[in-house]
Amino acid sequence: MPRFLSLYDNRRRDARVEVSGPAQPPRRSFVAAADRRPIRSARLIKVTEGHDLAALQRQWPDPEALARALVAGDPELDIEKVGQRVGTTNQVWVSADGKILYAAHALRVTDGPLGNEISREEFVDVEATVQEDVALPWTGRLLTAEEVVRRFALVQKLQLRHINGLTFDFLFEIARTLQESGKLLRVQAAKGGALIFQRNGTGYYGFLEGRVEGEGFRLVLHLSNFELKPLPRGEA
């Protein structure tokens, strides 16, 4: 952040504007309840490769033998490393036998609502559909606020803001247009379909809401990734 996006207004003019997310919750920290001494969170090494359960089970497949080994020699403890701070790390992929992969082969697995695997195929990146230099169209499809809040879960929001005097006027006019309509504008990607803000990111339905107050405006893009519908039987 900040990020930018482009959009059209109802007069087919487009402009690049800035977006920002909701305010963060008030900052808080923790102290020890007993005496208010300061404490801080830490991430420490608990187990290292070769000492985890899977590795120990490979070494001692017989549970009885593993139990005896645990009692006799503490093979689960890497004395040199356990308790150290994790520090900066890189993410790697490891195979079932604990070896680092140097060439990862990715699949896309589709699970059904109840967690059952439906299909698996080669993984193909899905590109973002929201880009700074490709304007989102004015769809003209308007929905009332009452319909939107009762039909969609609005799980994320972005506020649109100007980057100069011209874009202030541009956004103010959009906000005024929407306020006067009393409705929210359905927003979709330039080529139609879901709004995807980054490669392989979640797809969203978008609803643009505008309000004006004096010389100020508030233009918010409400984002939803599911409708309020009953869960499949077995899940609810």
Other CB atoms within 10 Å distance of the CB of residue 191: 8
Cα(5)–Cα(128) distance, integer angstroms: 12
**Min CB(29)–another protein separation in Å:** 6
- DSSP, res 163: S
Select from 6-14, 35-43, 64-72, 134-142 the region that touches another protein (CB under 8 A): 35-43
Read out DSSP for 131-187?
BTTBPBP----EEEHHHHHHHEEEEEEEEEE-SSHHHHHHHHHHHHHHHHHTEEEEE
Tokens of 9: 């207004």
Report, in Å, the least distance between residue 180 CB and another protein. Answer: 15
1 in contact with another protein (CB under 8 A): yes
Q: Are 205 and 143 in contact (CB under 8 A)?
A: no
Residue 122 engages another protein in binding (rule: CB under 8 A): no
Beta carbon of residue 116, minimum distance to another protein (angstroms, whole number): 8
Residues from 133 through 162 that contact another protein (CB under 8 A): 144-146, 148-151, 153-159, 161-162
Which of 63, 71, 73, 88 touches another protein (CB under 8 A)? 88
Residue 152 CA to residue 144 CA, distance in Å, equals 12
CB of 172 within 8 A of CB of 212? yes
**Least distance in Å: CB of 36 to another protein?**
7
* Nearest to another protein of 68, 155 (CB atom): 155
Site residues for another protein, window 36-55 (CB under 8 A)? 36-49, 52, 54-55
Does position 79 bind another protein by CB under 8 A? no
Question: What is the DSSP code (8-state) at residue 174?
Answer: H
CB of 100 to another protein, least distance (A): 7
Q: Which two tokens stand for residue 229?
A: 């519908």
Which residues ranging from 160 to 219 are in contact with another protein (CB under 8 A)?
Answer: 161-163, 165, 168, 171, 194, 196-198, 200-204, 209, 211, 213, 215-219
Site string for another protein, 11-30 (x = CB under 8 A): -------x-xxxxxxxxxxx
